[in-house]
Structure 1
Amino acid sequence: MTAAETLPDACPTRRNLCATLLALPLALATRRTFAATALPAGGGWGVDLASISPGTKPGDDFYEYVNKGWMDTATKPDGYSQYGEMNAMFLRTEARIRAIIETAAREPAGSCKLADLYTSYVDVAAIDQLGLQPIRADLDAILSITTLDQVAQRMAHPMSHTIAGTYVFLDAGDTRQSLLHIDQQVANGRVVGLPGAIYYASEDPKHATHRLAYQDYITRTLDRAGLESGRAIAASILALEGRLAAGMWSREQLRDRKLNYHRMSIKALAEYAPGFPWQSFLQATGYPPVETIVLNTDTAIRAAARIFAETPVATWRSYLAFHWIHNHAHLLPAAFQDASFRFYGTELYGLTTRRSRADRGIQFVSQNLPELVGARYIEQFFKASDRDAIEAMAPFMKQAFRVRIQQASWLDQTTRTTALAKLDKMGLRLGYPDDLRDYSEVEISPVDPIGNLHRLKAAQVELDAGYLADPQRPYRWHLPPQSVDGSYSPQLNSVTFPAGLLQSPAFDAAADSAVNFGAIGAVLGHEMAHGFDDQGSRFDDNGNLSDWWTPLARAAFDKRTDVLVAQYSNYQPLPGMHLDGRRSLGENLADLVGVTVALEAYRLHAAANGIDTAAVRDGFSGEQRFFLGWAQLWRTLHTEASLKSETEQGYHSPARYRVNGVVKNLQAWYDAFNVGSEDGMFVAPADRASIW
């Protein structure tokens, strides 16, 4: 799928530097008014009371109890196989960005980069008229390749498919310096054309059908471009990708931070992964020469390097040419765009309607000039009082987490001391940075969408190269202000919460504090918890990979997380299809700890501000309202296909289990809703998961 047409199930490419809150499906539209505007606050305090089901006992299915009215009446937008409140928040943000860009478009031509980039994307008549001319020189260069060195050089382009991606980030072994990293995870979506290894190897009839359709898509794409095509060429590309996919790491391996850290010299790289011309590749990336790199996904890249050497240049030419066309399809004539959607949208995900060109243009601009959009977003839609309100919650979250660490009886004092130091040093970046980029160094033309994209990619490489030269240079926020997402970076030991996430139903400065702590507070706690989950806990208070836990503390931690793994592995979103509790452990743990810490923070906040948590509003106590806020935030409509995909491949559990899987482990929830052993969700205290 092209970048501007990200499918709801397709997780955007993530560098191996942060744990994210969401694999966020993008929203389009819905018939319920609150999807496009702020959620109507039930009783004026932030919960949609009309969706609560009086016919469902909270203890039987809390997710349904809170959200049944919404699930019965909400409509999933065209073009989306799953849709929830986070999507509605994105839609609201997108509408705001649209207003920003439409206003910018009234400025004189050439005076506003936002308007010029948007115009270049939505002027389909000009795009159709140009045909393949914008990429013809690149295609000719690809088709003239005669050596494997030249193949590797072409793979270094950020718009090319490749066996390895590159990025610059802190050295996890010594965060006082930055190093060039090489891995396949950063090139996710640019190694093979199908969503994962299972699509190439599975005997499932659906996957076999997908393979045939993909082969046909390759054939027709090459033919449409006037290049040598035929099923034999498409079959060779499919076979090559099948071999590459077979060596790619599983999602469990990709989560393993230690496994993803292999520091070595360039000479050692050539010896470890022979068969790939590393010097030629690295010189073509645009980064300055380096002596040392970090090789992530090392065995996958070693296997790919061997395949690289064994594969004829002619096959690599076809692979590169096809993917070069496909990776630019959203900026090519309609025939290429339509064919891409028919395969990636309809064939793989069952979608029949795509987002409008204007909607995709908004997304394209926001993705490629994110900080320029962000500057106008915060000026118009994020008040200083909003930032003040979320920053006022932060100290209570840190204080609550400190209490949980101090009270964890399974921690020895040595481990506890470093854990507290790590918490104290943890940065909470809320709302937006004060030094947003203006992209003055990048030329943006209203008639050159592909050139614009290439120049922006090159500018990003140059920006990132600066970190190699200056170890003290602070890293920019990787999530711009308008992002409806949050993240935690273990190397930076920092949580990032952009303004786009700070809106209802996640956060409203005017809402009940119980709901805010139950929603955005728990989300903030989720990201903080990633610093102490099964992977984040491997980084010390300075962000370095370090075995700072004693063996006894680690064993106690693993024993507790094993309970959570077993619980989630027992859930069946679809008949006979279980969740993988080990793969999703980090996110499930973060949800549980996030809610636990946020509840503690709410109690601390209430005590500090003279709030009676037992006081009732519209029939609900403060702690009940807290849990309502959590459950409401995750309400989601799924298709069977999206649920299947999330179950098979997702790091995050489906929405129902993000709610029910958490609350059934918390005694405060049992107390708040009078849940007893006769209720369907009851778990005996001895069998509940408890981390912090």
Structure 2
Amino acid sequence: MKTTLLPLAAALALAIAPTLNAQDAHCLDAACSLQALLPENVDMSATASASADATVAPKLGTWGIDTAGMDRSIKPGADFFGYVNGNWAKTTQIPADRSSYGGFAVLRDLSEARVHKLVESYPADPSKGDDASKVGALYRGFMDEATIEKLGAKPLKPSLDAIRAVKNKTQMAEVMGRSMGGYGRSFIGLSIGDDARDPEHYALYMSQSGLGLGDRELYLDPKFAPQRERYQKYVEQMLQLGGWDKPAEHAAAIVALETKIANVHWTRAQSRDRDKTYNPVQVAELDAKAPGFAWGPFLKAAGVDKAARAVVRQDTALPKLAQIFNEADLDTMKAWEAFQVIDQASPVLSKNFADANFEFRSKFMSGQPQQRERWKRAVAFADGAMGEAIGRDYVQQYFPAESKAKMDSLVANIKEAMRARLGQLMWMSDATRAEALTKLNSFGLKIGYPEKWRDYSGLKVVAGDVYGNAERSSQFEWAYDVSRLGQVTDKLEWGMTPQTVNAYYSSVKNEIVFPAAILQPPFFDPDADPAVNYGAIGGVIGHEITHGFDDQGRKSDGKGVLRDWWTKDDATKFEAQADKLGAQYESYDFAALPGVHINGKASMGENIGDLGGITLGLEAYHRSLGGKPAPVIDGFTGDQRVFLGWGQVWRTLMRDDALRQQLVGDPHSPGQIRAFAPLRNVDAWYDAFGIKKGDALYIAPEDRVRIW
């Protein structure tokens, strides 16, 4: 299934590479994908020492904390984010070519600069057949604006002609099926991933799809009327650019159609429930269970007709989507499909298409004033198509062996902290505890880069054919996925490239993964004070480990099998604490967005991960001291430095529109909330900074959430 988890994927409008399964893999940050180079362009002098070489990692202060960026006039108990990051926030501006800025942005800019340097060094002759030449051709083809402008809308013609030729609903279903490996879309999304009940094999998944705005709430909530109105104008604009007839009339009909689809979609909270979203069905029964959709032609066109079984995520939505398909006007559906193609392809087309896409998707929806420079978009394009090919060179130049060794030690210490906490939990029964310890012992670990690299020899790259290269890349990835249907899962495969600034936990593989690019300041600095590292990367490690035991990750056992291994009483106690945590997050107000709040249930897993992350990071730091007292540095105790390390990681500035988008469609709470929200439930934070009743962030001990 094509996803919109990633701003890059949305910007390129292509699922050029297989994205992580949003339900079975939990990422640290919102940018969660195989290729996660975001549109970031950071002035690192705002955060760290300026460097003439943009490929050199930043340094933060002398021991890992940018003390100049703190605002010590703010009481930690009044505003911990401001205390840790106040001066940085006051003196920093969000660059014009992005919608947000923060700690992640520094490293994403660094990774982007490094990848840029690599792709600039590659030849651009794909006829040679080697990976470097293909990557070079992808990059330089995107940079060739003159050729792209000369082509204008011509690259769209074959795709739009195929849609125009559709004469009935069966042919429409076939077009939707073919879109799985190229431009276009369907009301039903398809993906191939590890089977949650049989993690040793791949399975076909079906999910609700069809919304150009992404989330159902943008169609149904009255406060998003401006977004809907602007979206309709955008649909009309793109149809007009693509030469589709009656653009205004069709745009209105398309928005009305998508609103019907939104009405039957599950909510984000419902769609992350791993029990309710595992609904196996025999493919032969689809016509009876969801009549009105041409299932056979659809699946055959997608290349997955050999699958005898599929796992349906939103099972009650499926028959309703089939009914909408059956009842929809054919001309409206053809226009809808044409818009999907044009919208997705626009970033690789001439300036009028690319600018229109930017003006709506980035500027209006996320508040980003300026489009990214061409070379940045070209880097993202090449990286999206052949990320692991670039990754091989990236790790050779930018990932020292000692970083991997130190991470191995840190992870081992965090796991021991989790083991200790599991042994101390008063609310957990011995039966559940034994299963939890078994799962912890089974955790896999991947650091830096994969042992086995992707083979791109089957990907055809043609010099100067940007549109075709993008389409062939998408087809290449889909064919790769389809070939694995029913096969044994590849345990060595990674869901992110080494140059990705992120981390994740996979429920079905029961493993935590840390790409090379995140193992740098502010997350990890081998020269920094250990307490800071335990609060920063230690908190990240703890966050990912905790995902194995959060409200959804806990539903899989040590082998990655989706099954209930909790006693009923333990599950009830856990859920009560989780609900309490969700209520805390939903209570936060955003002055610029009255009435818009964090969705406590949709963000539950990430919020539990943050609470577990800092708790485990602190415990592991204490254990690392070996009974010796922690040193005091610049007047800060060891515990204070752990919490400073955590708060500094979540430096975040966001434009109002970007904040709205995150609150509506992302499972992660905003960074400025993550900096302090979990700490309010950690007793040691109160002791470290002398936070007392009457302070704004104070929570009474009996009301603090106690999970791990």
Normalised TM-score (structure 2): 0.92
- What SS does the aligned partner of 1:615 have? coil
Superposed CA deviations along residues 36-87 of structure 1, whole A, max 9, x for unmatched, are 6544332x21100111222111222211111111001111011322211111
The question of 1:81 aligning with 2:99 is answered yes
Give the direction of change, closer, same or farther, for the CA distance of 1:102–1:93 in structure 2 (3 Å limit): same
Give the direction of change, closer, same or farther, for the CA distance of 1:7–1:655 in structure 2 (3 Å limit): farther
- 8 Å CA contact 1:262–1:295 kept in 2: the answer is yes
The question of 1:397 aligning with 2:414 is answered yes
Question: Which residue number in structure 2 is paired with residue 27 of structure 1?
Answer: 40
Question: Which residue number in structure 2 is paired with residue 49 of structure 1?
Answer: 67
Q: What is the 5 A alignment of 1:31-430?
A: 32-34=45-47, 38-42=57-61, 44-105=62-123, 110=128, 112-156=133-177, 157-158=179-180, 159-184=183-208, 191-204=210-223, 207-287=224-304, 289-430=306-447
- What SS does the aligned partner of 1:646 have? helix
Give the direction of change, closer, same or farther, for the CA distance of 1:389–1:348 in structure 2 (3 Å limit): same
- What SS does the aligned partner of 1:180 have? strand
Question: Which residue number in structure 1 is paired with residue 51 of structure 2?
Answer: none
Counterpart of 1:679 in structure 2: which amino acid?
Answer: D
- 8 Å CA contact 2:8–2:39 kept in 1: the answer is no
Counterpart of 1:684 in structure 2: which amino acid?
Answer: A
- 8 Å CA contact 2:104–2:501 kept in 1: the answer is yes
- What SS does the aligned partner of 2:681 have? coil
Counterpart of 2:431 in structure 1: which amino acid?
Answer: T
Counterpart CA distance in 2 for 1:402 and 1:660 is: 25
- 8 Å CA contact 1:30–1:76 kept in 2: the answer is no
- 2:667 equivalent among 635, 644, 651: 651
Counterpart CA distance in 1 for 2:531 and 2:144 is: 48
Superposed CA deviations along residues 389-432 of structure 1, whole A, max 9, x for unmatched, are 11121111111111111111111111111110011111121111
Counterpart CA distance in 1 for 2:236 and 2:598 is: 36
Counterpart of 1:167 in structure 2: which amino acid?
Answer: S
Worse overlay, 645-654 or 85-94 = 645-654
Counterpart of 1:50 in structure 2: which amino acid?
Answer: A
Give the direction of change, closer, same or farther, for the CA distance of 1:446–1:143 in structure 2 (3 Å limit): same
Counterpart of 2:372 in structure 1: which amino acid?
Answer: R
- What SS does the aligned partner of 2:29 have? coil
The question of 1:684 aligning with 2:683 is answered no
The question of 1:641 aligning with 2:660 is answered no
Instruction: Give the superposition deviation at 1:269.
Output: 2.3
Instruction: Give the superposition deviation at 1:554.
Output: 0.5
Give the direction of change, closer, same or farther, for the CA distance of 1:580–1:301 in structure 2 (3 Å limit): same
Counterpart of 1:356 in structure 2: which amino acid?
Answer: E
- 8 Å CA contact 2:196–2:561 kept in 1: the answer is yes
Counterpart CA distance in 2 for 1:41 and 1:228 is: 56
Worse overlay, 492-501 or 563-572 = 563-572
Q: What is the 5 A alignment of 1:263-662?
A: 263-287=280-304, 289-471=306-488, 473-474=490-491, 476-574=493-591, 575-607=594-626, 612-662=628-678
Instruction: Give the superposition deviation at 1:516.
Output: 0.9
Counterpart CA distance in 2 for 1:617 and 1:120 is: 52
Worse overlay, 388-397 or 451-460 = 451-460
Superposed CA deviations along residues 590-644 of structure 1, whole A, max 9, x for unmatched, are 100111111111122222xx8x452111111222111110000001112222333
Worse overlay, 154-163 or 17-26 = 17-26
- What SS does the aligned partner of 1:32 have? helix
- 8 Å CA contact 1:83–1:637 kept in 2: the answer is yes
- 8 Å CA contact 2:296–2:305 kept in 1: the answer is no
Counterpart CA distance in 1 for 2:161 and 2:125 is: 38
Counterpart CA distance in 2 for 1:501 and 1:521 is: 12
- What SS does the aligned partner of 2:202 have? strand
Superposed CA deviations along residues 91-145 of structure 1, whole A, max 9, x for unmatched, are 1110111111111147897551110111121211111112233231121111000
- 8 Å CA contact 1:83–1:636 kept in 2: the answer is yes
Instruction: Give the superposition deviation at 1:451.
Output: 1.7
Counterpart CA distance in 1 for 2:69 and 2:490 is: 49
Counterpart CA distance in 2 for 1:346 and 1:546 is: 44
- 8 Å CA contact 1:118–1:446 kept in 2: the answer is no
Counterpart CA distance in 1 for 2:696 and 2:213 is: 40
Question: Which residue number in structure 1 is paired with residue 35 of structure 2?
Answer: none
Superposed CA deviations along residues 434-478 of structure 1, whole A, max 9, x for unmatched, are 211241111112211122122222222232234325325435111
For structure 2, the 5+ residue unaligned runs are 32-37, 49-53
CA-based RMSD of the aligned residues comes to 2.3
For structure 1, the 5+ residue unaligned runs are none
Worse overlay, 456-465 or 467-476 = 467-476
- What SS does the aligned partner of 2:201 have? strand
Give the direction of change, closer, same or farther, for the CA distance of 1:130–1:664 in structure 2 (3 Å limit): same
Give the direction of change, closer, same or farther, for the CA distance of 1:425–1:321 in structure 2 (3 Å limit): same
Counterpart CA distance in 1 for 2:684 and 2:220 is: 46
- 8 Å CA contact 2:417–2:619 kept in 1: the answer is yes
- 8 Å CA contact 1:259–1:296 kept in 2: the answer is yes
Counterpart CA distance in 2 for 1:613 and 1:625 is: 14
Instruction: Give the superposition deviation at 1:5.
Output: 7.3
Question: Which residue number in structure 2 is paired with residue 665 of structure 1?
Answer: 681
Counterpart of 1:197 in structure 2: which amino acid?
Answer: R
Q: How many residues of Structure 1 are paired with residues of Structure 2 in the alignment?
A: 680
Counterpart of 1:183 in structure 2: which amino acid?
Answer: S
Superposed CA deviations along residues 226-256 of structure 1, whole A, max 9, x for unmatched, are 2212321211111111111221121101111
- 8 Å CA contact 1:397–1:601 kept in 2: the answer is yes
- 8 Å CA contact 2:126–2:137 kept in 1: the answer is no
- 8 Å CA contact 1:287–1:461 kept in 2: the answer is no
- 8 Å CA contact 2:413–2:620 kept in 1: the answer is yes
Give the direction of change, closer, same or farther, for the CA distance of 1:631–1:648 in structure 2 (3 Å limit): same
Instruction: Give the superposition deviation at 1:275.
Output: 1.1
- 8 Å CA contact 2:98–2:372 kept in 1: the answer is no
Superposed CA deviations along residues 155-208 of structure 1, whole A, max 9, x for unmatched, are 122321111121111221222322111113xx5xxx22224223323333xx33
Counterpart of 2:157 in structure 1: which amino acid?
Answer: R
Counterpart of 2:260 in structure 1: which amino acid?
Answer: R
Counterpart of 2:635 in structure 1: which amino acid?
Answer: G
Counterpart of 1:168 in structure 2: which amino acid?
Answer: I
The sequence identity of aligned pairs, in percent, is: 36
Instruction: Give the superposition deviation at 1:517.
Output: 1.0
Counterpart CA distance in 1 for 2:101 and 2:470 is: 29
